[in-house]
Amino acid sequence: MTTNLIDLQHSDVIMATSNMAENHPVGFQWVMKAKERGAKFIHVDPRFTRTSAAADIHVPIRSGTNIAFFGGLINYAIQHNLYFRDYVVHYTNASFLIDPE
């Protein structure tokens, strides 16, 4: 995971691609706290695991298609202007994808 797991409890939507319930059980408690607050939990994994069972949505993509799946999500967000533009332009290396004007 590339985030401070305790911050997950403040999320509105969490998408995970690992089997957090079994591989990160201490950190998974924060996912469950977020769910208690009403957050949606999406698990993207070809296998149905304990994490999938706890998820609101399980996306059983074919093994090895993660890049295509996430590329599609990113493309949809950009095409439909569903991203925080100022954050992308000023704090990520994806600003070249966004027209500065």
Do residue 51 and residue 74 come from a single domain?
Answer: no
Q: Select the more confidently predicted residue: 11 or 90.
A: 11
Measure the CA dihedral 13/49/59/34, to 10°. Answer: -10
Same domain for 5 and 54, yes or no, is yes
Average pLDDT over residues 12-27: 94
Range of the structural domain that residue 72 is part of? 64-101
Q: In whole angstroms, what is the distance from residue 57 CA to residue 100 CA? A: 35
Angle (CA) 20 21 24, round 5°: 55
Q: Are residues 56 and 74 in the same domain?
A: no
For 55, counting Cβ atoms within 10 Å of its Cβ (0-12 exposed, 13-18 middle, 19+ buried), the class is buried
Mean pLDDT value of segment 3-9: 86
Q: What is the pLDDT of residue 98?
A: 62
